[in-house]
Amino acid sequence: MQLVKQIIPKHKLTFLLFAVLPMFCFSQENSPYSRYGVGNILPAGNIANRSMGGISAGVTDPATINTVNPATYGNLVLTTLDIGIEYDGRTINSTNPVGNFKSNNGIISYLQVGFPLLYGNKKAIKNQTGWGLTFGLKPISRINYKVSNLGSISNDTTNTIYEGNGGVNEAFIGTALKIKNFSVGFNSGYLFGSKDYNTKLSLANDSADYFYSSNYQTTTHFGGVFLDAGMQYAIKIKEGFIRLGAYGNLKRQYNATKDDLRETFSYNSTSGAIVKIDSIFENAGQKGKVVLPSTIGAGFTIEKPHVLLGADFESTNWDAYRFFGEKDFVKNSWLGKFGIQYFPSPTGSSKYFNNVRYRAGFSFGNDYIDVDNSMPIYTISLGGTFPLKLRHSFYDHQYSFMNLSLEYGKRGNNSNIIKENTFRVGVGFSLSDIWFTREKYQ
């Protein structure tokens, strides 16, 4: 990290935020803010919960898998395959220079499977006991940016391109036990990430024969085991429940390996491809640590037959973040979430749209990036859960849905040099159908 700061001194860091190239229009996802920390943090919840502002602590739905609060696995009723995909369009508005740039990106949000381990057990039903198991894969963050700056050396114009890629992902397995109104659960697995930073310096007019273009590259890989925990408690009220939930994890430290490379290169005059000339410095296999912060969240839902209301509050201690001993430009963050769901016919109806669950929500907070003043974040969301087949009863083994979320988010305000507006469409499929159930015949 110290080497990166030598390449991009602190007093020049803000130019990463406004020297944005029009090439944003042609890449998968360009965000100059993803240069810092572990990149842009992706929404953690499933598609259904994200359409309610992302509330998760007190949400229990046997048709979806809520990995934010693993205590909910104890409420699984049928084996469920849960898949989420999303597309986002990002608009970056810059005040210096004035302009806006667009990019888009599509990713798999999660792939997860949940099993009710006590399904059909008469003793478990009598004792109001549930036990669930879940495993899956999901991305946590993404790094993707490419920005440029024009300068001068000895009356020649230089072009410096800053580029980064990477992110954090996790493979997890989780379990939860529910005893009457109380549930407790855990997620564990392997977290792995990478950060690949490049700084390319070249002459724009190439009048100096003695000058070679140079590339400064730092590549880091890190990974290790993680553990998350959650709990949930249901309080019976008239025609419904109040559910209280909490989730979180402790500060985690992971082994990391970093490679530094400094080389000269030229551009092929015909194809424009980079042609390596010579390596002037290489330091491979440096060992270090990446420290990720602790997170804690809590919330509640008020659940009635037709309506669900809920709120969450989440806080992350980014002051504890370290990358090879360096803090980076991050700070503690928080996020408040609010959501509502309306279900016209919870007992079933012959009319399709009476079986749809309609959702809305919003969230607001303070981003963890600490470069260009304090950066507020806001999101509003709409969506619903649409049955793929009308069912006759909850236990007819045909319990599959499509979840849809539409989210519009703003990052930054008029005090920030760069503001990001994001429109995200998420589609999820919760499949708990007959092919997951072994039928018995007499």
The 10s digit of each residue's pLDDT in 301-318 is 999 999 999 999 999 999
pLDDT band at residue 345 using 50, 70 and 90 as cut-offs: confident
pLDDT at 316: 97
213 band by pLDDT with thresholds 50, 70 and 90: confident
Residue 6 pLDDT > 80, yes or no?
no
User: Residue 421's closest CA among 432, 430, 412?
Assistant: 412
DSSP state of 22: G
Q: What is the pLDDT of residue 82?
A: 94
Q: Which fold has domain 2-436?
A: Porin (2.40.160)
Phi/psi region, residue 272 (left: phi>0; alpha: psi -120 to 50; beta: rest), is left
Confidence band for 205, pLDDT divided at 50, 70 and 90: low
pLDDT, tens only, 19-60 = 333 333 334 568 888 999 999 999 999 999 999 999 999 999
Q: If we measure between CA atoms, which residue out of 440, 346, 342, 438 comes closest to residue 394?
A: 346
* 108 vs 28, residue with greater confidence: 108
CA distance 199 to 146: 10
**Residue 214 vs residue 12, higher pLDDT:** 214
Both ends of the chain: CA-CA distance in Å?
A: 68
Lowest mean pLDDT among 42-51, 128-137, 198-207, 412-421: 198-207
* Closest alpha carbon to 99 in 423, 422, 353, 418: 418
Confidence of residue 372 (pLDDT cuts 50, 70, 90): confident
Higher-pLDDT residue of 134 and 24 is 134
In this prediction, residue 223 carries a pLDDT of 97
Report whether 243 contacts 280 (CB < 8 A).
no
Higher pLDDT, 111 or 395: 111
Residues 79-98: pLDDT tens digits? Answer: 899 999 999 999 888 776 66
Residues making up the chain, counted from first to last: 442
Residues ≥6 apart with Cβ < 8 Å to 59: 49, 52, 66, 69, 72, 243, 245, 301, 308, 310
List 148's β-bridge partners, or say none.
161
- Residue 36: what pLDDT? 93
> Is residue 208 over pLDDT 70?
no
Average pLDDT over residues 353-361: 94
Q: Which residues contact 267 (CB under 8 A, 6 or more apart)?
A: 202, 213, 273, 274, 275
**φ, ψ at 171 (rounded to 5°):** -110, 130
Work out the mean pLDDT of the chain and round it to a whole number: 84
- Give the residue with greater pLDDT, 392 vs 285: 285
Q: Does the structure show a pLDDT above 50 at 1? A: no
Which own/partner contact pairs does 186-189 have at CB distance under 8 Å and 24+ positions apart?
Answer: 186/70, 186/227, 186/228, 186/229, 186/230, 187/67, 187/70, 187/134, 187/226, 187/227, 187/228, 187/229, 188/225, 188/226, 188/227, 188/228, 189/135, 189/225, 189/226
d(C-alpha 85, C-alpha 106), whole Å: 8
Residue 325: the pLDDT is: 93
Give the lowest-confidence range in 70-79, 152-161, 335-344, 372-381: 152-161
pLDDT band at 156 (very low <50, low <70, confident <90, very high): confident
- On the question of pLDDT at 13 being above 50, the answer is no
Predicted confidence at residue 87, as pLDDT, reads 93
pLDDT at 211: 58
